[in-house]
Amino acid sequence: MRLLKLLGTLIFLAIIGFLVMSCLGETIDSGNGINACEDCGEVIHECICMPLVQNPIASDFIIGNLTQTAGSVTAVIITPQTGKSTGTITIFYNGSTTLPVNVGTYSITFNVAASAGWNAAEGLDGGSLSINFINQTPNASDFDINNLIQTVGSVTAVMITPKTGKSTGLITIFYNGSTTLPTSAGTYAVTFNVAASTGWNAVTGLNGGSLGINNQNPVASDFFIGNLNQTAGSVTAVTITPQEGKSTGTITVLYNGSATQPTTVGTYTVTFNVGASTGWNAANGLNGGTLVIEALMPDSRFEYYWVNEHGSLVTTSGGSTSISAGTDLIITAQDPSYTVKQWHLNGVNTGHSNNTFTFSSDMVGNYTIGLFVEKNGKIYNTNILITVHITFSGNVSTGNYPDYREHSFTATASTLFIHFYRGTLSSNAYIYDKSYNLISTIPINSYSEASYSQTVTSGQVYYIRIVSRSVYNGYSGGTYQIAVSNSSTRP
């Protein structure tokens, strides 16, 4: 009995195996890794279908988020379609699992882990991720702004630089709406434009604050200070002049706090004030050093002599003399133990410092010549003054009518006085300007001594022409003498 049951079972299995083998012999490839039975009916003993484990492919999945914008990048999305592998998905960007954030194109591949009924798969093609630019708009806070407080005389452009990661577009700066950099003191509104650059829009009118330009303050070293060592009797003001490019404000010099210039021997603290000027503030109490006034030390031992135009000795002591206009008066210092320091004319230093001083003038008048010398570092006033009286003089001869003599002079005042002496002829005096235009005729009577005034222009050259009208008592000629001065008093 048992043997029959065993034999029946074996026969049944053999039939089933045949049917299966027959069915498998009629399978077709569905194209997705699954073998399907052809004409497989519902009756199991007619055909038994044996499905195989499947392999995922890229088209089994929905792939999204492949186009994005820099600044907001998220992962590519890959999800299986219905009935496809649900294995874990790993996404690669150019072969790396790191999600890129920079602008560019990245190749997407992905792996799918094994799951029920599905094999694992690697390197499936997911297309390309494109990360595109998005243009941002700059604002003022994106930039560092410097150099807003400056000083007249050294003004440079305001500095505006982008912070890290901000627009690098070209920057144009405006001061009160102009691109011209101001240099004068004042306050100027600063705005700026930024040109477009990669990832950034252009923008105009950003607020850059205010540029403040302040006036400079003068200091003592801005000025040249001179004339601090002087000698009593010839003291002049301390000289203070600005160096190039420094304040040109009005300078007030103070001596021991007073604007009055000292003249007596001593030391005086010099300070000075400078008034405000363009680009400069006023300044008071700047240090000008110390004025030192030394005593003049008279010495009667000093000798000199002076000679007339012919070179002959006239005198060796102070006094006065008369010479004709246009002739020279030569004065020579004789004591070799002294160094000649200053020749003064009418109280003013002539700038001559040699031993011999030659005086010459075409201007009629009185002149005072003085002398200072130096010995052992001290200045001495010789206390010797020479007064020189210069006149026009000459002879007129008869000859062909009209005979004349002409003299030139330079006016030093607006009114000149013409004084005639020793008239021994009857004549006229004519006054001409430098272009020989006649401006006045003065009649001269015989033997007259008279004075006349004439309005002139100071500093201009004039000519006096004396013309003979007749001879007196049979003389073949006559003599005359005239003088021109600024005073109505006859010299």
Same domain, 285 and 308: no
Task: Specify whether 480 is located in the same domain as 430.
Answer: yes
- Encoded amino acid at 460, one letter: Q
Q: Are residues 362 and 318 in the same domain?
A: yes
Same domain, 462 and 412: yes
- 292, 314, 329 — which closes off a domain? 292
Sequence-separated (6 or more) residues with CB below 8 Å from residue 17: none
Mean pLDDT throughout 400-418? Answer: 62
Residues 371 and 406 grouped into a single domain: no
Question: What is the torsion angle, in degrees rounded to the nearest 10, for the CA atoms of residue 175, residue 180, residue 186 and residue 189?
Answer: 0
Asked whether residue 1 is assigned to any structural domain, the reply reads no
Q: What is the tally of structural domains in the chain?
A: 6
- For residues 385 and 329, membership in a common domain is answered with yes
The band of 3, judged by pLDDT with boundaries at 50, 70 and 90, is low
Domain residues for the domain of 117 are 58-129
Q: In this structure, what are the phi and psi dihedrals at residue 237, rounded to the nearest 5 degrees?
A: -65, 145
Task: Give the DSSP per-residue string, 56-98.
Answer: --GGGEEEE--EEETTS--PPEEEEPTTS----EEEEETTBSS
Distances in Å between the Cα of 432 and the Cα atoms of 174, 465, 482 are 66, 8, 16
Residues facing residue 269 across a β-bridge: 290
**72 and 93 co-located in one domain:** yes
CATH code where residue 419 lies: 2.60.120.380
pLDDT band at 361; cut points 50, 70, 90 = low
Residue 134 within a domain: no
Answer yes or no: do 269 and 328 share one domain. no
Is residue 33 within 8 A of residue 97, CB to CB? The reply is no
The partner residues of 365 in beta bridges, in order of sequence, read 390
Q: Which helix or strand (DSSP H or E) is residue 2 part of? A: helix 2-24
Q: Which residues contact 425 (CB under 8 A, 6 or more apart)?
A: 396, 444, 446, 468, 469, 470, 471, 472, 477, 478, 479, 480
Please identify, among 264, 292, 320, the residue that sits at the C-terminal boundary of a domain: 292
Digit-coded pLDDT (tens) for 56-109: 999 999 999 999 988 789 999 999 999 999 999 999 999 999 999 998 999 999
Alpha-carbon dihedral sign for residues 133, 136, 141, 146: positive
Contacts of 489 (CB under 8 A, 6+ apart): none
Query: What's the pLDDT tens digit per position in 198-208?
Result: 889 999 999 99
Banded model confidence at residue 137, pLDDT cuts 50, 70, 90 = very high
CB-CB neighbours of 320 under 10 Å: 13
Whether residues 171 and 240 fall in one domain: no
Q: How far apart are CA 14 and CA 371, in angstroms?
A: 160
> What is the structure's pLDDT at 138?
95
Return the DSSP state at 163.
P
Q: Which two tokens stand for residue 164?
A: 């890290």
- Whether the full predicted model's pTM is greater than 0.85, yes or no, is no
Which amino acid is present at 366?
A: N
Q: Model confidence at 430, in pLDDT bands (50, 70, 90)?
A: confident
Q: Which of 42-51, 262-271, 326-335, 454-463 has the highest mean pLDDT?
A: 262-271
Q: Whole-number mean pLDDT of the chain? A: 76
276 and 345 share a domain? no
- Give the contacts of 83 (CB within 8 A, at least 6 positions apart): none
> Has residue 163 got a pLDDT over 50?
yes
Query: Is 317 among the domain residues?
Result: yes
Please, are residues 115 and 87 in contact by the beta-carbon 8 Å criterion?
A: yes
Query: Which residue, of 71, 98, 129, is where some domain finishes?
Result: 129
CATH number of the domain at 361, please.
2.60.40.10
For 4-34, the pLDDT digits (tens) are 556 665 565 555 454 444 444 444 444 444 4
**Which pLDDT value is given to residue 356?**
73
| Average pLDDT of span 290-297 | 79
Examine residue 269 and state whether it is found in any structural domain, yes or no.
yes
Edge-to-edge order in the sheet of strand 283-294: 229-231, 283-294, 266-274, 251-255
Tell me the per-residue pLDDT of 440-468, one tens digit each, with 9 for 90 and over.
Answer: 887 765 445 667 788 888 778 777 766 54
Residue 225, domain member (yes or no): yes
| Pairwise pLDDT comparison (125 vs 451), residue with the higher score | 125
Is position 34 within any domain?
Answer: yes
Q: What percent of the chain has pLDDT over 90?
A: 42
Residue 92 and residue 78 share a domain:
yes
State residue 358's pLDDT score. 74
As a residue count, the chain comes to: 491
Indicate whether 224 pLDDT > 80. Answer: yes
Helix %, strand %, coil % of the chain (to 5): 5, 50, 45
Max mean pLDDT among 6-20, 110-124, 129-143, 324-338 falls in 110-124
pLDDT (0 to 100) of residue 346:
74
Higher-pLDDT residue of 160 and 474 is 160
Six-digit token string for 452: 């006349």
> Is residue 419 located within the same domain as residue 456?
yes
Task: Please check whether residue 89 lies inside any domain of the structure.
Answer: yes
Between CA 44 and CA 50 the distance in angstroms is: 11
Q: What is the pLDDT at residue 132?
A: 85
- Report the run of H or E that residue 359 belongs to, with start and end: strand 356-360
What is the per-residue pLDDT for 316? 43
CA–CA gap between residue 476 and residue 491 (Å, rounded): 29
Q: Is residue 247 part of a domain?
A: yes
**pLDDT of amino acid 41:** 43
